[in-house]
Structure 1
């Protein structure tokens, strides 16, 4: 399967990008890194600069039709920048409109709030987002991983880097249903 990973040019939490990427490549899936600008994205280890990663395609050039699923890594600055980019928000929304699975970790649900895809859903996130998520019409839960398939498309969410093993397991299981 071809899986889109969407990040801003700067601010993605590196482990939240690299661990789900690794999990997917180990199962034979093909992740592609999308961003709002071409070139490279600058990842962070919390507040410290980490590695850079080459962008495969800009979100403006991309279409959800070309991908089977979407992963939204966190980091505080990453989703904050994405939610201010109309192309990124529309790209995210298009996965929900097409009933395609989306996995989001940590602060990534901020982009989902902006995309207007949360009413009626239940999800988890970094705890500071709970009020934003509730104000967007969703139910926030404090769980290691939560899978919501009660509305259009499946949404897999986790709270933080420590939840990555559970996040990756749920992501692989739910994305595998698309391939089946």
Structure 2
């Protein structure tokens, strides 16, 4: 084969291309590259296949985790909505119960005040009755004392005996 020489843009020296396959070790390079490709194909191919399987497995796991996370999120959102509804019902029930307790407390307070007023009136009436009775008793005692003081001077023995007989008749 021939060697072609090309000048390097007007400088000294040339650039050449040798097309002789035996002279350039082209056959040896082809054999070495072929053998390397054949040996490395199995080794690298196996490594790449394992890596591919690991990546696919990781992707499958990631998709499964995403699906599980999505399901868990939906369940959590549903649970949150239910919890919010329960909280709202509890809040409303609490307000109603607080209002009922307040009304019951007001009613009991009014009843207690009415009872105290009735007790005070009853105590006042009892005290008035006791004072009236005491005044009547004192008036009767004073009337008796006055009558006893004036009676001997107004009664003679005949009127005195008649008064005693009349008193005994009244007692029977």
What interval of TM-score do these two structures reach, taking the shorter chain for normalisation? under 0.3
What is the TM-score normalised by the length of structure 2? 0.15
Higher relative contact order (CA 8 A, sep 6+): 1
Q: As a proportion of its length, which structure holds more helix? A: 2
Q: Larger radius of gyration, structure 1 or 2? A: 2
